[in-house]
Chains A and B, each alone.
Chain A
Amino acid sequence: MMRVKLPAHLRTLARVEGEVNLEVEGPVTPRAVLDALEASYPMLRGTIRDYASGQRRPYLRFFACGEDLSHESLETPLPEAVATGAEAFLIVGAIAGG
């Protein structure tokens, strides 16, 4: 079981509190995590990655284990600590005022 921490607005949209726990089949990559997340919470489709391109939306970042993984390939396996649930996969809104 792995853990995902969503920005507050997406927790509200998904009607969850705290972190989301997900079972991810196969290699735990960002794409596999997002697929599992959207399968469990379909209201999040289109809010993290663009429908047309499938890419991370530009004002969102992906962090884990103190590293910025935003610019890694969506196919790059996440650190073992994330795959095991020891560390959370963080989806973070960019600091963009507002």
Chain B
Amino acid sequence: MSGVRVLVGTRKGAFILTADGARKKWKVDGPHFGGWEIYHLKGSPADPKRLYASQSSAWFGQVVHRSNDGGKTWETAGNEFAYDGEAGTHQWYDGTPHPWEFKRVWHLEPSLNDPDTVYAGVEDAALFRSMDAGQTWQELAGLRGHGSGPHWMPGAGGLCLHTILLDPANPERIFIAISAAGAFRTEDGGKIWQPINRGLKSDYIPDPEAEVGHCVHHIARHPAQPNVLYMQKHWDVMRSENGGDEWHEVSGNLPTDFGFVIDVHAHEPDTIYVVPITSDSQHYPPDGKLRVFRSRTGGNEWEALTKGLPQKDCYVNVLRDAMAVDNLDPCGVYFGTTGGQVYGSADSGDSWTAIVRDLPAVLSVEVQTLP
């Protein structure tokens, strides 16, 4: 019988939640790497037993771990992330130049077809790739070499490259997003990159429609529609029909268009999910009600999903990498909160249950659908 494995990164370790295809009874395994911040862990689509985990701490820096047995055991991989050439400067919060410094890995994206190839999005923003199962890392320096790097600036979480989307139909095409620079696309495997931010408007930069400087929180896409992208920006939910060449707002009737996560239903390319958050300083849901909003029309028309979610006195946040979907039918949707809850829905969001309630603050959620 098929099943799911939910990979949860938290402020104090990783947890692995498993269930069969019914997704009613869950086993909670962890903490792995107890005491470390686990920004992200993710499994290889080509070999579900191969997992990668990013662990970091203020004391000991960055460590990368790899598992070959679905997270039962782990081995240390390489942790040297050296920028290619002169690192240069980006903008600091006050607009002054600040040296590029490696801080941590935010996101690990395994290749779609090679378990030993994995991409890492890091802070300060850059994209690295390993082709030896994480032992050594090389920067795809064309991204920082785009020339706009001196105008990138950190968001509240730092200058982080947090989203990496690989194209199942075209291995040379990669989308990434950086807070606060924007989204970028390469068509040649990472040598040449172009910013794809036309249509974004951000009042916190001198030119609200500038080519770079936008605080993109997350982007998502359905593999069946490789040119349709969805974005949760700092403010605004956006959609592009042409691979990011142009964006238009689809916030519609959302109670607030600030938020972090956005994801797409596994079988319905026009069904998308967001979790509205009150504002850029009030990082909790409006009115103390934790609501996932679903659009079945690719945006603009949204419905609140509340069944099983707290509808009063709830003041948690849902961070940018903390939502994922499985491939079962009906589609499962999962998200984690800074209050330590991981909620799951086995019916495309119609109803929710807390798989676990009292973890450390959740930083990331990924799902593997197992045969």
Contact B76 A57 (CB under 8 A): no
CA of A98 to CA of B360 in the docked complex: distance in angstroms? 12
Contacting B at CB under 8 A, from A16-30, are none
Q: Given A9-B35, A9-B36, A13-B76, are A52 and B102 also a contact pair (CB < 8 Å)?
A: yes
**Interface: A85 (CB within 8 A):** no
Which residue of chain B lies nearest to A98 when distances are taken between CB atoms in the complex? B58
Interface majority SS (helix, strand, loop, mixed), chain B: loop
Which of A7, A46, A93 is in CB contact (< 8 Å) with B79? Answer: A46
Shortest Cβ gap from A39 to chain B (Å):
15
Q: Is the CB of B59 within 8 A of A50?
A: no
Question: Inside 8 A of B58's CB, which chain A residues have their CB?
Answer: 59, 96, 98
The total of interchain contacts (Cβ-Cβ below 8 angstroms) comes to: 47
**Count of B residues near A, CB < 8 Å?**
16
Per-position binary interface string of chain A over residues 16-60, scored 1 when its CB falls under 8 Å from any chain B CB and 0 otherwise: 000000000000000000000000000101111011100001011
Taking CB atoms, residues of chain B closer than 8 Å to A48 are 60
Contact A9 B59 (CB under 8 A): yes
Q: How far is the CA of A52 from the CA of B62 in the complex (A)?
A: 13
Question: Which residues of B in the span 26-65 have a Cβ within 8 Å of any Cβ on A?
Answer: 35-36, 57-63
Query: Is B82 in the interface zone, CB < 8 Å from A?
Result: yes
Tell me the A residues contacting B by CB distance below 8 Å.
7, 9-10, 13, 43, 45-48, 50-52, 57, 59-60, 93-94, 96, 98
- Chain B residues in the interface with A (C-beta under 8 A): 35-36, 57-63, 76, 79-82, 101-102
A-B CB proximity, top 7 nearest? A43-B76, A47-B60, A59-B59, A93-B59, A46-B79, A51-B80, A59-B58
